[in-house]
């Protein structure tokens, strides 16, 4: 089975597993390793960004959440962004609409870190989960399903007022941006991508290079959806989601998944 097919299977599986919370007993106290809203009708996990905001707003240290994110990052780096995140998978689908033609933009790795500090700072200043009121992933997987006129889906949550329109607007703007700029959200704004991406240089799982096989053809960089331009950044950059497109595209099989020693 090709890596691309495996990635799609895992993305679909992650979406299904994330929504097995039909009954309260199936809802866990764990945070998922990707951006997914715990406001979703059947969400099993908690959104790590949402949980961090809540603890900051209540002036408590989220030891369990920080520890969980540390384990996710140290073992897998940003792997779950490329292989499990439902919002990342949606941006993969947008690729089929736009083809390979996208705007060439400057790769600015630090914008998602700035956005992360803004998100946490707003939670501290307003004592509220401000990011959750704008999050495009929450817009798609929590706000829109709650609008379905079925009590089975609503579960007591009926979004209304200005934040409903804000959710719809942020989702539309993010998707339009992703049509023109490959994986716009993942590249520039995702606060969780900043957290786990910071572990890429030390994570156990990474992408290795057999330098003796590499002919510097740059095919691997040409297929990169995250706009990585240097071979040394593959597997190491905070932008790299370890999606494996470069591994699959390399004609010499010089790139491969490995466990870092």
Mean pLDDT of 170-178: 94
Determine the pLDDT at residue 24: 78
What is the chain's length? 261
Tokens of 75: 């073992």
The DSSP 8-state label assigned to residue 33 in this structure reads: S
Residue with tokens 């090709």: 2
State CA 140 to chain mean position distance.
14
pLDDT at 40: 83
Is 90 exceeded by the pLDDT of residue 149? no
Using alpha carbons, list the distances in angstroms from residue 203 to 47, 73, 111, 141, 197.
22, 6, 22, 29, 9
Window from 146-160, 218-232, 238-252 with minimum mean pLDDT = 146-160
Give, to the nearest 10 degrees, the angle between helix 63-76 and helix 48-57. Answer: 150
Distance of CA 185 to the CA centre of its chain: 8
Burial category of 214 from C-beta neighbours within 10 Å (exposed 0-12, middle 13-18, buried 19 and up): middle
Mean pLDDT for the stretch of residues 226-253 = 95
Place 155 in a pLDDT band, splitting at 50, 70 and 90: low
The tokens describing 51, both together, are 């949980």
Q: Which helix (H) or strand (E) holds 12?
A: helix 3-18
Asked whether the predicted pLDDT for residue 164 surpasses 90, the reply is no
- Sign of the torsion formed by the C-alpha atoms of 105, 107, 113 and 116: positive
Task: Label residue 101 by pLDDT band (50, 70, 90).
Answer: low
Distance from chain centroid for Cα 245: 17
d(CA 46, CA 73): 17
Side-chain-side CA neighbours of 190 within 13 Å: the count stands at 33
pLDDT for the residue numbered 100: 63
Q: What is the pLDDT of residue 83?
A: 97
pLDDT digits (tens, 9 = 90+) for 206-227: 999 999 999 999 999 999 999 9
Which pTM was predicted? 0.89
Using the predicted structure, report yes or no on whether residue 61 has a pLDDT greater than 70: yes
pLDDT range class, residue 63, cuts 50, 70, 90: very high
State the average pLDDT over residues 228-246.
95
Q: Name the β-bridge partners of 258.
A: 206
């Amino acid at each position: 089975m090709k890596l691309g097919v495996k990635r799609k299977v895992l993305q679909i599986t992650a979406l299904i597993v994330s929504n097995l919370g039909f009954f309260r007993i199936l809802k866990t106290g764990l945070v998922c390793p990707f951006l997914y809203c715990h406001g979703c009708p059947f969400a099993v996990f908690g959104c790590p960004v949402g949980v961090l905001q809540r603890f900051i707003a209540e002036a408590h240290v989220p030891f369990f959440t920080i520890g969980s994110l540390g384990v996710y990052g140290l073992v897998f780096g940003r792997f779950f962004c490329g292989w499990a995140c439902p919002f990342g998978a949606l941006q993969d689908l947008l690729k089929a609409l736009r083809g390979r033609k996208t705007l060439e933009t400057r790769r600015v790795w630090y914008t998602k870190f700035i956005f992360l500090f803004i998100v946490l700072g707003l939670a501290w200043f307003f004592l509220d989960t401000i990011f959750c009121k704008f999050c495009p992933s929450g817009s798609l997987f929590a706000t829109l399903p709650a609008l379905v006129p079925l009590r089975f889906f609503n579960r007591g949550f009926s979004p209304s007022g200005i934040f409903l329109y804000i959710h719809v607007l942020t989702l539309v703007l993010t998707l339009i941006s992703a049509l023109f700029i490959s994986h716009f959200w993942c590249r520039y704004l995702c606060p969780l991508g900043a957290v786990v991406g910071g572990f890429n240089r030390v994570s156990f799982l990474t992408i290795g290079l057999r330098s003796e096989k590499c002919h510097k053809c740059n095919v691997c960089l040409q297929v990169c959806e995250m706009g990585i331009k240097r071979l040394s950044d593959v597997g190491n950059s905070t932008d790299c989601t370890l999606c494996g497109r470069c591994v699959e595209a390399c004609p010499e099989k010089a790139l491969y998944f490995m466990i870092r020693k």
